[in-house]
Amino acid sequence: MISPVLTDRPVLRLGTRGSVLAQAQSQLIASQLMSLHPKLRVELVIVKTTGDRVMHRPLYDIGGKGLFTKEIEIALLSGEIDFAVHSYKDMPVTMPLVEAAVGKLVVAAVPRREDGRDVAVMRDPRRGPYFAGARIGTSSLRRRCQILERNPGVRIESLRGNIDTRIRQVRAGDFDTAILALAGLKRIGAFDESFMQVLSTDELLPAAGQGALALQCRRDDEPTRSLLSALDDPITANCVAAEREVVRALDGDCHSPIAAFATFENGEVVLRVAVGQRGGDPPVRRARTSVNQADFAPESLAAAAVTALQPSV
């Protein structure tokens, strides 16, 4: 039976970027909502963002990850859309970005996380991803510093674009390897183990929020908040909160190569952190902290991880 909050809201407008991945993620959430509420209809509204328009320069040169979210926040504030689905790793920790949105927008739900690891897409799998002189395509400073620390003989070159474009450039020989998030590949059905290698978190620690989605809406829109809350996964939400608190505590920005990844292991919450030099060079400082699941508080676990990093400064 349809929830009472839907009686006057049979259609929800879901704001999404126009990329194949963004639309796939938004359609996934739309389908889950409509499965829970068969009389509800969710319409996708494409919002063009600055990050989608400027593709020839690294994000850290043009303003950082917020370039994927600012226009969507504006659309939320104006009432053009009712909620949005973001890749959580692309949301700056200083959300919202639009000054007028402070106190007016909220992340209403964080659904269960997809696999947060990275993947090496290889032109020649027989040689592996990091052979001497290999051209590695990535514009992520987090990936750059970790790869160079373990593989100083490779060359890191800037690579942006949607998933299909990046894969195509590797297959065409423009790069020997490209590093992509496994979650995105899986969500659009593009993961192919014949030329892709999943990287362990020991090899390449993910970004804060990688693999997770954030459902954002207006704070005063109680009907929509109520709908979205049904998709919230507290474990994912708390793990991502700890990861993002690490970035916030380290005053991270688009020039800060910070990795943070929290997992539940044998009754404990384990938080791993890796921090490279500003600009994306080694060495990389690392920390691992854990706490019993019953005592888990995102802020305190993040604080412990940041403290563990300090002696190596």
Q: Are 73 and 106 in contact (CB under 8 A)?
A: no
Q: Are 224 and 108 in contact (CB under 8 A)?
A: yes
Instruction: Show the beta-strand stretches assigned E in 56-189.
Output: 83-87, 105-109, 118-122, 135-137, 155-157, 177-181
**Residue 270 CA: distances (Å) to CA of 6, 47, 288, 296:** 39, 37, 7, 10
Catalytic residue (one of 82, 90, 118, 176): 90
Q: Are 281 and 266 in contact (CB under 8 A)?
A: no
Q: Are 239 and 263 in contact (CB under 8 A)?
A: yes
Residue 90 annotated among the catalytic residues of the structure = yes
Please state, in angstroms and rounded to a whole number, the distance separating the CA atoms of residues 278 and 251.
12
| Active-site residue set | 90
